[in-house]
Structure 1
């Protein structure tokens, strides 16, 4: 390929780290690249809860538009932020090998303080809010927006006991502090810890280049998780958790739909043979919907639209 592959990215430290990771992988294969930094609506509007600003694609639309205008050739995204329905003519070009999927809580004080009554925890995620309140119903959850660096600073500047983050994001830019706990009981967002590359469906040369850095096992797992979310008709900010893992020739899947206040949950756990796992996410979502999840999902959408 003679042309330079223009890599579009948000301009946060974490987003740039991810874009440079992609750049390095492509350059190792002999491709010429350059980074194009852009700012998203989700990065600019920080005083309104994420679910209230039209959350579907709030972090990805700017890059989509730039690609459609011919300003970039590929876009690099945190896959958990990407709507399950991509814009027409834009396709998934690759998924990189996944990092740690877990959430962590970064806390002030002691670990014992986190389980006391009256604790205040910060997060901008309805999923995290719902699962935390289910486990700790006497706690107060407060909204937290901004990039990783901004959210860590807000935690220090406010009278909060802790804030919840994706472990992968903190580790990638060396910001995971000692005073953290891994929330191994919290089911992560579908595709958490994974990086996605998108490109134009018509750009065969770029698609061929990206295919060389695609990680097939990760792509299968996040595909199952996103099928689960899509079938539930939940946006990427809805209180939906899903995690697929490959162990030998089996795929395990844990899925969860929660009421926003955490009082009601619909969960599912299934194991399938690897060769039969393609529709696993859809099947698990249909099971939840048939078990009262359809009614719960309608209630969730009413709250999100307010």
Structure 2
């Protein structure tokens, strides 16, 4: 048996895919890697929310699986949208790396005034922490963003700590505690998506980490019930069943937040539904400000 593994072509995507390939090969199975270009990689001059809905890094890989060009694909799980095409399954979720954001900068933190990020969540959380910051859009892969920081285009940039670790990048800065700067759902997690083929699932499921799968499933259940998408400044983080979720205004001045211990997916869905009603005004406001239609 051999497995064709699809991936984006960025250095981070290739590093994540290399981890998965190594695990599959350790089972005595041959692996072929295939690079697939995605809309999120090709359109880099505008913020993510302006391209389209969540999934801009995923759709092309989904299509490649369904068209039998590849057998499975490796993703940052946070990029996978809630609604999935029929015939696909998340066969494996690897042990979670750091879920935290990392504020990269040099010199004294008091001199940081201009911060680069394209995430509405990170923007709102930074402004909540320091309303005097100027937040500018920053797209591109990790290397591109780090280069722009070194060139002095920004005083600081925000990156996922897990991505830096996977690339072996050591850079001055501070880890932003996930309890305060609540990350996006599933941040720090690598997932393998495949066709719903029993023989393929049998192989890939041996890579699965049940504890991580449960935590990210709780996060996704809450996310799906809230239904706010990537346009809303929203963080959802669960560790060993302890859930923290928050929705912020775009300027970071207002926040709705819950913190609960969650035992089952049913509990998670109930919490998500209840939180949607509490945070609905902030969600609608974010969509309206960004010029996107929203139905409650």
| Superposition TM-score, scaled by structure 2 size | 0.94
Give the deviation of 1:176 after TM superposition: 2.8
Residue 264 of structure 2: which of 251, 272, 277 is its match? 277
Give the deviation of 1:143 after TM superposition: 0.4
Residue 84 of structure 1: which of 82, 85, 97 is its match? 82
Give the deviation of 1:237 after TM superposition: 4.8
Could you say which residue in structure 1 is the equivalent of 2:280?
294
Could you say which residue in structure 2 is the equivalent of 1:38?
36
Distance 1:243 1:160 in 2: 28
Could you say which residue in structure 2 is the equivalent of 1:222?
216
Name structure 1 gaps, 5 residues minimum. none
Please give the root-mean-square deviation of Cα atoms over the aligned residues, in Å: 1.4
Comparing 229-238 with 52-61, greater Cα deviation is found at: 229-238
Give the count of matched residue pairs.
Answer: 290
Q: Secondary structure at the match of 2:244?
A: strand
Residue 253 of structure 1: which of 240, 243, 248 is its match? 243
Could you say which residue in structure 2 is the equivalent of 1:26?
24
| Superposition TM-score, scaled by structure 1 size | 0.91
Give yes or no for the alignment of 1:180 onto 2:180: no
Distance 2:151 2:253 in 1: 30
The CA deviation string for residues 58-101 of structure 1, in whole angstroms up to 9 with x for no partner, is 00111011111111000100001110111221111110000011
Distance 2:32 2:208 in 1: 20
Give yes or no for the alignment of 1:10 onto 2:5: no
Distance 1:86 1:121 in 2: 34
Give the deviation of 1:108 after TM superposition: 2.8
Could you say which residue in structure 2 is the equivalent of 1:102?
100
Could you say which residue in structure 2 is the equivalent of 1:266?
256
